[in-house]
């Protein structure tokens, strides 16, 4: 019975480990995205400033700035959508882990309860 309990405890830890792996993968993907986006933005900002420094006409500079802001906005929206998709995928995976672990725990609890009932029945027979 003790072995059954220990086995059940070990099995019940598996979903938590899967969740930890899922969360770690999510964090890594988001940090990579953040690092790549930051580096890309710094490069594009530097290129934009260099291009603006060479422009003599104020109207051209304003137009360049407007185009740059529009491009930057589009990039940020794309990155936000990509990050949301990564998060949604992680949430979906977490749901699958939870559903699977719940079914396993229920089955293990039922099996353990049956084993306990058998042990109690054996004890009663020995006591009688």
Residue 13's φ and ψ, nearest 5 degrees, are -80, -20
Give the chain's end-to-end CA distance (angstroms, integer). Answer: 22
Reply yes or no on whether the pLDDT at 88 is more than 90: yes
Mean pLDDT of 4-27: 82
Dihedral angle over CA of 42, 47, 50, 52, nearest 10 = -100
Mean per-residue pLDDT over the chain, rounded: 88
Alpha carbon distances (Å) from 73 to 11, 44, 128: 47, 13, 81
Q: In the chain, which residue ranges form alpha helices assigned H by DSSP?
A: 2-54, 58-127
Element holding 1 (H helix, E strand): none
In tens, the pLDDT along 37-52 reads 999 999 999 999 999 9
SS3 assignment, position 3: helix
The answer to whether 117 and 4 have CB atoms below 8 angstroms apart is: no
pLDDT tens-digit profile of 115-125? Answer: 888 888 888 78
């Amino acid at each position: 019975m003790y072995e059954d309990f220990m086995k059940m405890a070990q099995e019940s830890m598996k979903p938590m480990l899967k969740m930890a792996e899922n969360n770690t993968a999510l964090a890594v993907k988001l940090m990579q995205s953040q690092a790549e986006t930051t580096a890309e933005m710094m490069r594009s900002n530097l290129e934009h400033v260099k291009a603006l420094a060479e422009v003599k006409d104020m109207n051209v500079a304003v137009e360049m700035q407007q185009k740059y802001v529009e491009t930057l906005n589009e990039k940020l929206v794309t990155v936000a959508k990509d990050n949301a998709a990564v998060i949604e995928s992680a949430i979906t995976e977490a749901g699958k882990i939870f559903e699977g672990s719940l079914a396993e725990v229920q089955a293990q609890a039922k099996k353990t309860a049956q084993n306990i009932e058998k042990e109690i029945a054996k004890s009663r027979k020995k006591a009688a």
